[in-house]
């Protein structure tokens, strides 16, 4: 599960990274649309990295990405800085 927080406040908790990013963009836009269809269509060709950059560049917020896992999980989590 992935969790996205904006300025320390929980925005979404989802099993899919892309869904979490799309929901966050919709939330930050304060969209009044009843579904996420329009936002999904607008960002259909964006990668996860593109969506993260969009959130970072378009909104004056401090986003956090948190990966949740079981205590006994053998998965390790690392972060790599991507060069432009």
What distance in Å separates the CA atoms of residue 20 and residue 48, rounded to the nearest whole number?
A: 10
Tens of pLDDT along the chain (84 residues) come to 999 999 999 999 999 999 999 999 999 999 888 899 999 999 999 999 999 999 999 999 999 999 998 999 998 888 888 776
pTM for the full predicted model: 0.87
What are the C-alpha distances in Å from 10 to residues 24, 45, 71? 10, 26, 21
Residue 28's φ and ψ, nearest 5 degrees, are -65, -30
């Amino acid at each position: 599960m992935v969790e996205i927080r904006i300025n320390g406040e929980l925005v979404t908790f989802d099993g899919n990274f892309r869904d979490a990013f799309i929901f966050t963009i919709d939330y930050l836009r304060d969209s009044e649309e009843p579904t996420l269809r329009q936002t999904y269509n607008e960002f259909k060709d964006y990668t996860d990295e593109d969506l993260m950059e969009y959130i970072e560049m378009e909104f004056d917020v401090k986003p956090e990405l948190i990966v949740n896992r079981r205590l006994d999980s053998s998965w390790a989590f690392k972060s790599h800085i991507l060069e432009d």
